[in-house]
Amino acid sequence: MIFLRYESFGSYIRLFPVTTALIALNIVYFIVAAWSGNMNNVYHVVDFGAFVTKYPEDPYGMLQPWRYITSIFMHSGLEHLLYNMFALLVFAPPLERLMKSSKYALFYLLCGIAGNGMSALVNVVERDTLTHVGVGASGAIYGVYGAFLYISLFRKPQLDESSRKTVYTILIFGVIYSLLVPRVDLWAHIGGALAGFLLYNVLDRAKARRQRRQT
């Protein structure tokens, strides 16, 4: 079971530097934002970098594109933060080892960006709200799940049966949770997971081509 963590604190930091840095950055960002104001105040959250789209003048948030990234490190409350950081703590390390730290860092950011992009796209199509505000690492974390879904389906020898079942269970539970719980952005989760699946496919194919050239 690759998702069980047995490392000491020091070993975890040494083995998974990017995951450690991401967790630390999320926590520090939350502390600063919460200390500075009310996290339930939408204007305060926007001031600290939440992802914002406004229809029709800026339906995809491209007037302030940095929000695609800053929002990945923001959370609406302590429960939101703890839930996502636990997922990152447990499930991200095996992927960091598989991908190597630099690729994994870029992968994580791209999945978070894709989650925001999918959320914006669906909001435009459905005309759900004129102003959409989103925060959270969930899109990026679902990208991690998406990568493991690809591995579970197409690279089965890399995962034991228990780990594969865990991946399927998490994704099913995640969809149900996203549908039932108010203010959870289902489409950001789907966008992140889809990006993770597709990006890992691209990386996997590139790795296979390199290996063929070397033989």
Catalytic residue IDs: 138, 189
Q: Alpha-carbon Rg of the chain, whole angstroms? A: 18
Q: How many CB atoms lie within 10 A of CB 97?
A: 14
Q: How many CB atoms lie within 10 A of CB 84?
A: 19
Separation between Cα atoms, residue 126 and residue 128, nearest integer Å: 5
The residue with tokens 């991401």 is 22
Measure Cα distances from 5 to 75, 116, 139, 172 in Å. 24, 30, 23, 23
193: exposed, middle or buried (C-beta count within 10 Å: 0-12, 13-18, 19+)?
Answer: buried
The two three-digit tokens of residue 104, written as one number: 């994994």
Residues facing 51 on adjacent strands: 134
Q: How many CB atoms lie within 10 A of CB 181?
A: 9
Q: In sequence order, which ranges of the chain are alpha helices (DSSP H)?
A: 9-15, 17-36, 42-47, 67-70, 78-99, 101-126, 138-154, 161-180, 186-214
